[in-house]
Amino acid sequence: MLTIASRLDVMNRLGRAMADPTRSKILMTLLDAPSYPGVLSRELELTRSNVSNHLTCLRDCGIVVAEPEGRQTRYAIADPHLAAALVALVDVTLAVDEHAPCVDSSCTVPGCCGTGADA
């Protein structure tokens, strides 16, 4: 059972991970599919060392896992429940912020991308 202190620790780790725009970009990319540091650095136009440093932070926070594949390391969101929670967090934030750009036209959250009661 999680105590108040451990719940706060979990929230602090998650907040620390998402507070940095680069880590947020990496997380959003990993929500689509697992990836490799080299691929992430090219897709996000970042240096490989920068991506690796951020992936280390995300791994240390327990948000992503590193899976060795031969000479490469594949990174993925640590748990499907966490991935679903991150998607839900983005959806509800977009629904609340009417000025945020639509990133998912298939979103079914009311108010998101012109759907629901506000459409």
At 37-87, the pLDDT tens digits run 999 999 999 999 999 999 999 998 889 999 999 999 999 999 999 899 888
Residue 51's CB: how many other CB atoms inside 10 A? 25
Query: Cα separation of 81 and 16, whole Å?
Result: 19
pLDDT at 2: 60
pLDDT at 13: 84
Sorted by where each begins, the domain ranges of the chain are 4-118
Region 19-46 average pLDDT: 95
Is the pLDDT reported for residue 117 higher than 70? no
Among the residues of the chain, which ranges form H helices?
A: 4-19, 21-32, 37-44, 48-60, 80-96
Residue with tokens 């540091």: 37
The verdict on pTM exceeding 0.75 is: no
Domain spanning 4-118: CATH 2.60.120.260? no
